[in-house]
Amino acid sequence: MTSRPLNFVKMHGAANDYVYVDCFAEEAPADPAALAPRIADRHRGVGGDGLVLVMPSTKATARMRMFNADGSESEMCGNGVRCVAHLVVSRGRAAAGSVTIETGRGVLTLDVTPTGDRTSRVKVDMGEPLLEAAEIPVAVAGGRVIDAACPALGGEAPWWSACGLDPRMTCVSMGNPHVVFFCRDVARVPLESIGPQIETHPLFPRRVNVHFVQVESRSHVVMRTWERGSGITMACGTGASAVCVAGAVSGRTDRRIAADLPGGRLDLEWAESGHVFMTGPAEEVFVGTWWGGR
């Protein structure tokens, strides 16, 4: 480890916050997986849900690499990619409007509308969801996992009735795996204990992001999330996209919804083209210098 400083930008999308390193201007950290848990530590580091590197790309305007707070690398982050698009526009590396970002999910197209010196509203084409069990992946026989029994929940517990849980799961991949449950009252789900239990269950070979959803109307839901590798987060963009799809395929919601997360609202649409579009904010919080080694 070296004491060579590392400049960063702290940003969030609907309070899903990450430490961003602009690798157009900074040398990329040699071991970002090792750096992520240290720099994301909310007591001894900068604090955040993880680390995002904004890098040059031969395929797009920029490339995003995203590391969770435990150091694991994730394919995509919907809130994170909005902030990446804001950063490349705000730093003059691309013009406002259409921007492309290379991710582990592939190249995504975003539309960036600056709303201030340090803020933008960004619409993301999240691509098409994957619904087949083998593609998500979920270790079950058959094709789509819609309102299916979920062994990862274990036996019935008192909290099921307390929150009005429907114990059936619907699974979706938005380039990363998601499992969605519906209930009457998301505030009464013991997410801090049930989230890690489901995330690491053998039913999900690559672990899974866990979402509990309260349907307010066919166009409005409230949701809470346990993110794979990061724990409880204020928002999850790929998760909100998965919830939009899960609500539609299970017949609970329309294909266009507003999703209220603890960190704010995201607008989702599963278009007739098959692509999911997510719109939400991107905001810079502060810039700084990390002296804890790369």
Which active-site residues does the annotation give?
77, 236
Burial category of 64 from C-beta neighbours within 10 Å (exposed 0-12, middle 13-18, buried 19 and up): buried
**What's phi and psi for 29, nearest 5 deg?**
-55, 140
Q: Which amino acid is at 129?
A: P
- In the block, tokens 């930008």 appear at 9
| Lookup: tokens for 235 | 């928002």
Q: Point out which residues pair with 125 in neighbouring strands.
A: 277
Q: What is the phi-psi region of residue 179: left when phi exceeds 0, alpha when psi lies from -120 to 50, beta otherwise?
A: beta
